[in-house]
Structure 1
Amino acid sequence: MARIDIRKLQKSYNATTRTLHGIDLTFESGEFVVILGPSGCGKSTLLRMIAGLEDITAGEIAIDGTVVNTLEPRERGCAMVFQNYALYPHMSVADNIGYALKVAGVPKEERQRRIRETAAIVGLADYLDRKPAALSGGQRQRVAMGRAIIREPRVFLFDEPLSNLDAKLRVTMRAEIRKLHKRLSATSVFVTHDQVEAMTLADRLVVMNAGHVEQVGKPGEIYDRPATRFVASFIGSPPMNLLPGELDSEDALRLKDGYRIDLPVGARVGFGARRIEIGIRPEHAILTRRGAPGSADAVVDFIEELGASRVVYAELGGTMFAVTVSEAMEVEPGNAIGLILPPERLHAFDAETGRRLEMQRERAPQPA
């Protein structure tokens, strides 16, 4: 296991193109950290810099207290699993797994023992004589993981390793990776653009956007309290609804179409008068009949059938709004409906900066 400290890390390819903008992160020993973000946000670049495959423009990376900026990849104690399995097609599974030990000059008997042990860990004990072409996609990915495990690294680095697998196999491999991490107790850093992978795998989640870290925290914390408008819209499926609004008074919010949201009794908005965006998760909004008390008028646009639930998309004040409905409700495209936004489920974001704004509950007066 190893602790990773990343301090003021920057990556520039030329005078005008900067990929990372002063990243500060710490990954604790034995932690499973997932770096999540859209394509081009810099997450794979960050991973490759930890591995030593990308030069560092500024800042430093330390593994167990040793700055590794100038160390070769083989000297860092890291093993990397790529999106592309990168297996040698003419070699057997056993030879692919044990290749690094062969290059390092490990004696044949010791090498074969470690190959057998590693193959058992990744479930390939019965496939050691096969060539990659005779394996499924999931089995090839296990070979790639076995090749990393056999080196007994302090740090595992995963660069979108499940992207080439079908949906069902990805679910299976997520579970296997998580069990493997628990068994090996190594520090793992996993990069993905898939929020389901991120939420299910991570001990701690790092959300990146345009070369910056937007938020770091446990998956549940980030889902429940997104720090920025970007995180709110990126995490969740469907993502959080965001509606432009204004502060009406100290106890109410008003949406663009005039719909008023009264805050809970005793609450206050602790951020003064400014333009804001109001957010609510689709599963927290309530679909009702048009004109119901406390509801906003909307018109159904289309419906996604998901089996156990449905997502109804409706136009609310000129904005597309999603609401998740679990029970069977008789709504069709074109129907007029009502939407209730419970005040206790609302999130608020500064319309200019995108940062989260807190709705704070005032303390009750203390008795004299």
Structure 2
Amino acid sequence: MAEIRIEQVRKAYGRNAVVHGVDLNFRSGEFVVILGPSGCGKSTLLRMIAGLEDITSGEIIIDNKVVNQLEPRDRGCAMVFQNYALYPHMDVAANMGYALKVAGVPKAERDRRIAETARIVGLEEYLTRKPAELSGGQRQRVAMGRAIIREPKVFLFDEPLSNLDAKLRVQMRVEIRRLHKRLSATSVFVTHDQVEAMTLADKLVVMYKGNVEQVGTPLEIYNTPRTRFVGSFIGSPAMNFLDGKFSADGEYFIFDGIPIPVDASLGKPHAGQAVALGIRPEHARMVPVGTPGSVPATVDFVEELGAGRVIHSDINGSNFAIAVTDHTSGEIGQPIALQLPSQHIHLFSSETGLRLDLGQETQRVKELAS
């Protein structure tokens, strides 16, 4: 196990900067997930940790040693890639033990470690098979076994589940979490899938356009998104946003001429200000049409999810989703009314996108990143 510190790390390709002064600290034994959309710099950051990309400036420190100038093989990291990268002419045993063979490990020791690793990843019956004879999930297990057998200080995962079907991805998430519990190695996992991130992470790092937007536990980030981007990216279906302003007395949020009553403690600090109001679909409530203080809307379409449904409604041309467990409500074209409970409302600056009620939360987020 090893601690990883990333201090003011930047990466640029010519004049094109892709990672902008990232500062992070991953504790020994943590399972860290770096989450963000394509092009946000998450895989580039992972590859810089591994030594596969040069650092433009800053320092990466693994186990109290600056590794900027070290070759990948000398950093104590093992990496699992998206495309498996297996040798097609070698069987499972040879693929997993190849690094040991190159390192000159005696055959008897190699065989012992191959057998132990195969047991850990559930491939004991497949050691003589070639990659072409394996399923996608089995190939990914071989790739993980090849990393485990080196007994690294740090495991790095670069979107390893992206090529698997939905059912297999769920199974592999469970296996990866169990594997981490067994090995207790520091792990850094990169993904664009927020469900993967929420289910796997001890610590979650959300990136956007080369910057770290927020660091925290999955629930902290879900319940208290630091920016509008984080609120929109974490959660399925995504957080609803209404752009408007508070009334002069702070008792109403005005959206497109519709007054929405809010708790005074929420509105008065921002009286008269233009803000973005966010609320998650599971927190909005459908109430009888005409209920005082409700927001009128019309059902646009409905997503059936088995255990519930997501009703997509239209509020004066803006889409607004509501997650419900009642399968009888929400017919297309039906007029409905919505309530937005003040305790579930999130406020963001219309100019910067930053959360407006950060207060002590800002300091707590900084402490989590350190």
Check conservation: 1:243, 1:255, Cα contact below 8 A: no
Check conservation: 1:270, 1:358, Cα contact below 8 A: no
Check conservation: 1:269, 1:358, Cα contact below 8 A: no
Q: In the TM superposition, what is the alpha-carbon distance from 1:85 to its structure 2 partner?
A: 0.4
Check conservation: 2:266, 2:342, Cα contact below 8 A: no
- 5 Å matches for 1:155-170? 155-170=154-169
Query: For residues 238-296 of structure 1, what are the alpha-carbon distances to aligned partners after superposition, in whole Å with 9 as ceiling and x for unaligned?
Result: 10000002121354232322333333365554456431000000000011232122211
How far apart, CA to CA, are the structure 2 residues paired with 1:178 and 1:262? Answer: 44
How far apart, CA to CA, are the structure 2 residues paired with 1:272 and 1:25? Answer: 36
Query: For residues 33-85 of structure 1, what are the alpha-carbon distances to aligned partners after superposition, in whole Å with 9 as ceiling and x for unaligned?
Result: 00000000000000000000000001010001110000000000000000000
* Correspondence for 2:342: 343
- The letter of the residue matching 1:66 is K
Unaligned runs of 5+ in 2: 360-370
How far apart, CA to CA, are the structure 2 residues paired with 1:304 and 1:202? Answer: 28
Q: Is structure 2 residue 242 aligned with structure 1 residue 243?
A: yes
Query: For residues 10-45 of structure 1, what are the alpha-carbon distances to aligned partners after superposition, in whole Å with 9 as ceiling and x for unaligned?
Result: 000012x00000000000000000000000000000
* Correspondence for 2:223: 224
Q: Is structure 2 residue 5 aligned with structure 1 residue 13?
A: no
- 5 Å matches for 1:108-257? 108-257=107-256
Q: In the TM superposition, what is the alpha-carbon distance from 1:309 to its structure 2 partner?
A: 0.6
Q: In the TM superposition, what is the alpha-carbon distance from 1:124 to its structure 2 partner?
A: 0.5
> The residue matched to 1:152 in structure 2 has which SS?
coil
Check conservation: 1:42, 1:208, Cα contact below 8 A: yes
How far apart, CA to CA, are the structure 2 residues paired with 1:173 and 1:34? Answer: 15
- The letter of the residue matching 1:285 is A
Check conservation: 1:35, 1:206, Cα contact below 8 A: yes
Q: In the TM superposition, what is the alpha-carbon distance from 1:149 to its structure 2 partner?
A: 0.2
How far apart, CA to CA, are the structure 1 residues paired with 2:41 and 2:70? Answer: 22
* Correspondence for 1:280: 279
> The residue matched to 1:231 in structure 2 has which SS?
helix
- The letter of the residue matching 1:8 is Q
TM-score w.r.t. length of structure 2:
0.94
How far apart, CA to CA, are the structure 2 residues paired with 1:48 and 1:267? Answer: 43
> The residue matched to 2:7 in structure 1 has which SS?
strand
Structure 1 residues 185 and 309, CA, compared in 2 at 3 Å: closer, same or farther? same
- The letter of the residue matching 2:347 is A
Deviation larger for 230-239 or 259-268: 259-268
Structure 1 residues 234 and 173, CA, compared in 2 at 3 Å: closer, same or farther? same
Check conservation: 1:238, 1:282, Cα contact below 8 A: yes
How far apart, CA to CA, are the structure 1 residues paired with 2:73 and 2:245? Answer: 56
Structure 1 residues 75 and 359, CA, compared in 2 at 3 Å: closer, same or farther? closer
Over aligned residue pairs, what C-alpha RMSD do you find? 1.4
- The letter of the residue matching 1:13 is Y
TM-score w.r.t. length of structure 1:
0.95
How far apart, CA to CA, are the structure 1 residues paired with 2:257 and 2:204? Answer: 37
Structure with the larger helix share? 2
Q: In the TM superposition, what is the alpha-carbon distance from 1:329 to its structure 2 partner?
A: 2.9
* Correspondence for 1:364: none
- The letter of the residue matching 1:341 is L
* Correspondence for 1:48: 47
**Equivalences, count:** 359
How far apart, CA to CA, are the structure 2 residues paired with 1:143 and 1:348? Answer: 46
How far apart, CA to CA, are the structure 2 residues paired with 1:189 and 1:279? Answer: 30
Check conservation: 2:158, 2:189, Cα contact below 8 A: yes
* Correspondence for 2:312: 313
Unaligned runs of 5+ in 1: 361-368
Deviation larger for 340-349 or 324-333: 324-333
